[in-house]
Each structure stands twice: as C-alpha cells, then as structure tokens.
C-alpha cells in the first residue's frame, strides 16, 4: 500500500511538472517577438521610398498595432499599416526619406493579450 501511494505521488508530481512546462511554453509563444524585418535591423537601404515589412513569431492584430518612424531630427511620423500579407506580418511604406539614421518603432498586440514594443534602426543611404 505504501509503495502504491509513493508511486501515485511521483506520477502526480511528474504530471504537474510537465503541465507547468507546457503552460510556460505557451505563454512565451503568445508574446509577439520580431523574427525579421525589412529594412533589416541596422541595415542600409536606398531611399527615398522605403517599403517596410515586420514579421513576428505569432499573429498580430493590425487594428490595435502601431508603427511610427523616428526621423534623424528626432521628430516622429505615424506610418499607416497596410494590408497584412499574413497574420504574423505588418507592412507599411516610409516615403520621401532623406539620407540619415531612422528607427521604426512598433507596438503590437499578440493573441495572449500582451502588448510588445520594439525598434528597428536603419540608415537611408545617399544617392
């Protein structure tokens, strides 16, 4: 009888540990993480018009997301989010950019309800 209880306790403890790991993995997957971008982080691009594509690890809600361009003079410009080519991707276009250092500031809402923010610095080359 004592062995059966001990065995049951071990099984329950093992199942609880597995459930905790799966739950933690699910929570991490729920947060939006930028996988890749165009322009690339710290990339150099030709202007004056720069297409923007941000690809995340999970789907993002475009209606509750925000894209902003930080200009070389530290002013900001709101960027309109275009039609999503995929549920995990946002697109836009920055127009009439002069040579200099810029940052795309992004804010997205992931399926887990968390808002994630980040920046993509890049440089527009002169002609």
Quick: pLDDT tens for 105-120: 999 998 888 999 999 9
Q: Which residue has the higher pLDDT, 42 or 8?
A: 42
Length of the chain: 127
Q: Which residue has the higher pLDDT, 127 or 10?
A: 10
Q: Please say if the pLDDT value at position 59 is more than 60.
A: yes
Quick: pLDDT tens for 75-94: 999 999 999 999 999 999 99
Q: Please say if the pLDDT value at position 42 is more than 60.
A: yes
Q: Nearest to residue 122, comparing CAs of 51, 50, 44, 46?
A: 44
Q: Please say if the pLDDT value at position 6 is more than 70.
A: no
- The phi and psi torsions of 24 (rounded to 5 degrees) equal -60, -40
State both tokens at 115.
């808002």
Q: Please say if the pLDDT value at position 7 is more than 90.
A: no
Measured between alpha carbons, how far apart are the two ends of the chain, in Å?
83
**Residue 118 to residue 41: CA distance in whole angstroms:** 11
With cut-offs at 50, 70 and 90, classify the pLDDT of residue 26.
very low
Ordered structural domains, the chain, with CATH: 31-125 (2.60.40.1220)
- The phi and psi torsions of 45 (rounded to 5 degrees) equal -130, 160
Question: What is the pLDDT, as a whole number, of residue 24?
Answer: 47
Q: Which residue has the higher pLDDT, 30 or 79?
A: 79
With cut-offs at 50, 70 and 90, classify the pLDDT of residue 31.
confident
92 bridge partner residues? 52
Query: Which DSSP letter does residue 97 get?
Result: P
77 bridge partner residues? 69
Q: Please say if the pLDDT value at position 61 is more than 70.
A: yes
């Amino acid at each position: 009888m004592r062995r059966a209880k001990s065995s049951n306790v071990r099984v329950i403890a093992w199942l609880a540990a597995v459930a905790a790991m799966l739950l933690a993995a699910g929570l991490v997957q729920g947060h939006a993480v930028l996988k890749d971008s165009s322009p690339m982080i710290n990339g150099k691009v030709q202007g004056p018009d720069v297409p923007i594509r941000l690809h995340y690890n999970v789907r993002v809600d475009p209606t509750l997301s925000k894209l902003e361009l930080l200009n070389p003079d530290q002013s900001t410009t709101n960027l309109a989010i275009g039609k999503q080519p995929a549920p995990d991707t946002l697109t836009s276009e920055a127009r009439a950019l002069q040579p200099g250092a810029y940052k795309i500031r992004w804010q997205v809402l992931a399926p887990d309800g968390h808002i994630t923010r980040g920046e993509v610095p890049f440089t527009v080359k002169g002609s």
